[in-house]
Structure 1
Amino acid sequence: MQETSGMKKYDAIIIGAGQAGVPLAKKLAKAGKRTAIIEKRWLGGTCVNDGCTPSKTMIGDARLAYVARQAERIGLRTEGVVDINTIIDRKTGIVENARNGIYKSMREIPNLDLMMGTATFTGPKELRVDYVSGNMEFLSADLVFINTGARAVIPEIEGINEVGCLTSTSIMELREIPEHLVIVGGGYIALEFAQLFCRLGSKVTILEKGPRILSKEDEDVATEVGTILAEEGAGVITNVQVEKVARIPGGQTVISIHTDGGQQQISCSHWLIAAGRVPNTDELNLAKAGVKTNEKGYIITDERLQTTAQDVYALGDVNGGPAFTHVAYNDHLIVLKNILEEANLSAHNRIVPYCMFTDPELGRVGMTEQEAREKGFQVKVAKLKMANSARGVESGETRGFMKAVVDEYSGQILGASILAAHGGEIVSVLQMAMMGSIPYESIRNMMFAHPTFSESLNNLFMTLDKS
């Protein structure tokens, strides 16, 4: 390895070219700050390369297969044969186009140096970069931003090192449709892949260690999602302890589990681990920088996203906040405006929406019913089945329901769960109402275009008139 002597000085260094790092680097450079951004892998972070872009592309293609089969209700017959290579090729093309677009846009900005390599702290606001080319360089900056993200956690299971497993990244490179896919985990990523591969023709079994899937959601939401997945062929086993895994002659994988019913074995062609994520902090040598982490390895930050080291910030998944692309993007806005405009923005009490892209989607914002009650609110709960939505009936999208939690005294919307077609879009209406302190009565009486899914919010809040 060749070593370059001396230390290059910057105004700002960003470690990680994810959904916070890229826009932050561009805007700091455009503001006249000499900026470096260091990326060890691919530009765009998890979202572009391993998360939102590829998975939602494949989910969209799987939905086409599902819709084609549903078209039999109007007499349209299809063979239902899916070419997985076509799906993977389309996904790969979209990802590479997005990644290349980021690269091109960054290369055109003055004051911005893009460095492909691994960054390691050597002292407070000082870094060593080990380039993919084999060279090494030392950097320092007045400001340092960490946007290194997180990766899938691989649990310690007997035999897993010998057998191997799929992750949410590698499963999107499969050029075969699993005959039987077992998914370890019952969260958002696990359920999206469960439905996706059911629609491509796989038998799917979900193994959840807890008493139910979607442990962070209200029980009625989790139950309804489970019913929808069951209708499409996904089986769910709860209270599961995965004990060991082995490969048997013929290529099948045998997973030994313990459940309430005792010991059993499940044979499958493929298995996916979707049981959580861990932060990418292990290579950073954070102690040298004075940056502290919590017991799970996430970087500790204050409400303005500054770490325990002065002028060092952590943005996105690596700081342990809600692990969503839009949160990372909002993180960059907070630090950018605070630094360049001396604003006083904070991550405290942000209204964070999110969406699980099953079909129907689960759009979420604010508190669940359970959370609101635990925090001492006196609540009213509005609920409307999509079978009672005019647009739902007309379009044949009758699965799921709308649910909103309202403060009984103020009429303010505390949270919502929209399990419906376009649920992520519908919940944005309620998010804006929450941001503007608009009471539910105004939504109940609001004039929406007819017939739309959002119009059903009228009917949703009318249910409170009957309670």
Structure 2
Amino acid sequence: MSARSFHAIVIGAGQAGPPLVGRLEAAGMKVALVERKFVGGTCVNTGCMPTKTMVASAYAAHLARRAADYGVALSGPVGVDYKRIKARKDKVTNDARGNLEKWIGGMKGCTLYRGHARFESANTVRVGDELLTAPKIFLNTGGRASVPDLPGIHDVPYLTNSSMMDLDVLPSHLIVVGGSYISLEFAQMFRRFGSEVTVIEKAPRLTGREDEDTSAAILSILENEGIAVHVGAGHISFARQGANIAVTFDAGTPPAVGSHVLLALGRVPNT
């Protein structure tokens, strides 16, 4: 099979890929854009946009519970319809992805290929049965959640930031392993939705790259919202406990037992 020639190939249709394709195509180049899953990458599909949409719903619930502080009386307790929250989030994602696909589809000099790209040579890429060749190939493959080989982790169901977006039930007790931005965003969000939430962090404080007073302020905010936080938690392990999941750690406390576990332990590249 002969390869189809392009001026450039861009692998990955995440945040950087489509704008780069747009600039190249506007300069008169013939460009191939390859995406194996969803156009838009992490931000559109499992990161910034869907999570901030959910954060907005969580804030609305939080503010409603504080209605009396503003002199507003509610006729009953604040309730959360998690399926509607997810549907709203999905619509934001689908609309954004659809608009991006329309923009890419309107570029006459761009061809979008769906599939996994594999290098056949320094300037040739295979996507399924197609061979593509170009003197310039750009990698925009992004990253994914890190899943360290912690004891027992493969014996229990667990969630990552991506699979959390598919969750259609509200956890009764969400255990979040990790103490940085992604983990704490989900922790506060689901606490405001009404879940019991526990955060387990191996380091001696949350958000370890920030100043110590910032970490202390974040800890205070989370604890004031009813989130249980354990820092300095070494030797983390997982086991089934009936229908639940037990997370054991050596911070001087009993295991945390929850309905769902979220791993938020950093990112690794997709290359």
Q: Tell me by how many angstroms 1:23 deviates.
A: 0.9
Provide the rounded CA distance (Å) in 2 between the counterparts of 1:165 and 1:31: 46
Answer yes or no: is 1:224 the counterpart of 2:224: no
Count, aligned residues: 269
Determine the structure 2 residue equivalent to 1:188: 181
What code does the residue aligned with 1:111 have? G
Give the aligned partner of residue 82 of structure 2.
Answer: 84
* DSSP 3-state at the match of 1:241: coil
Whole-Å separation in 1 of the counterparts to 2:248 and 2:96: 41
Question: What is the TM-score with the length of structure 1 in the denominator?
Answer: 0.56
Task: Please say if residues 17 and 140 of structure 2, whose CA atoms lie closer than 8 Å, have aligned partners that are also in contact.
Answer: yes
- Which of 1 and 2 has higher RCO (CA within 8 Å, sep 6+)? 2
Greater C-alpha radius of gyration: 1
2:157–2:261 CA contact under 8 A, matched in 1 = no
| Cα pair 1:242 1:255 within 8 Å, conserved | no
CA distance in structure 1 between the aligned counterparts of 2:57 and 2:235, rounded to whole angstroms: 31
Matches within 5 A, 1:259-274: 259=251, 261=252, 264-274=254-264
1:220 positional shift? 0.6
Unaligned runs of 5+ in 2: none
Secondary structure at the aligned position of 1:32 is classed as coil
Which stretches in structure 1 are left out of the alignment for 5+ residues? 131-135, 282-467
CA deviation string 1:383-436 (max 9, x = no partner):
xxxxxxxxxxxxxxxxxxxxxxxxxxxxxxxxxxxxxxxxxxxxxxxxxxxxxx
Offset of residue 12 of structure 1: 0.7
Letter aligned with residue 73 of structure 2? L
Q: Give the deviation of 1:241 after TM superposition.
A: 2.2
1:110-189 correspondence to structure 2 within 5 Å:
110-130=108-128, 136-189=129-182
Whole-Å Cα distance in 1 between the matches of residues 116 and 169 of structure 2? 33
Distance 1:242 1:177 in 2: 28
Q: Report how far residue 86 of structure 1 moved.
A: 0.5
Q: Deviations over 1:116-148 (max 9, x none)?
A: 011111221221112xxxxx1111112111100
Does 1:64 pair with 2:60?
Answer: yes
1:258 aligns with 2:250: yes
- Alpha carbons 1:166, 1:271 under 8 Å: kept: yes
Contact kept, 8 Å, 2:198 with 2:256, in 1: the verdict is: no
Q: CA deviation at 1:171?
A: 1.5
Distance 1:145 1:168, change over 3 A: same
Query: Do the aligned partners of 2:11 and 2:139 also contact (CA within 8 Å) in 1?
Result: yes
Aligned twin of 1:11:
7
Superposed displacement of residue 32, structure 1 = 0.5
- Which ranges of 4 or more aligned residues in structure 1 deviate by more than 3 Å? none
Q: How does 1:328-367 map to 2 (within 5 A)?
A: none
Amino acid paired to 1:187: S
Partners of 2:244 and 2:141 in 1: CA distance: 36
CA contact (8 A) 1:30 1:110 kept: no
Q: In the TM superposition, what are the counterparts of 1:392-431 in structure 2 within 5 Å?
A: none
Looking at structure 2, the residues matched to 44 and 196 of structure 1 have their Cα atoms a distance apart, in angstroms, of: 23
Q: Residues of 2 paired with 1:266 and 1:66: CA distance? A: 25
- Check if 1:46 corresponds to 2:42: yes
Q: Which amino acid aligns with 2:200?
A: L
TM-score by length of 2: 0.96
Equivalent-residue separation in structure 2 for 1:185 and 1:18 (angstroms): 25
Residue 389 of structure 1 is matched in structure 2 by none
Amino acid at match of 1:6: S
Distance 2:155 2:222 in 1: 31
Computed over aligned residues only, the root mean square deviation of the Cα atoms, in angstroms, reads 1.2
Alignment of 1:363-402 (within 5 A): none
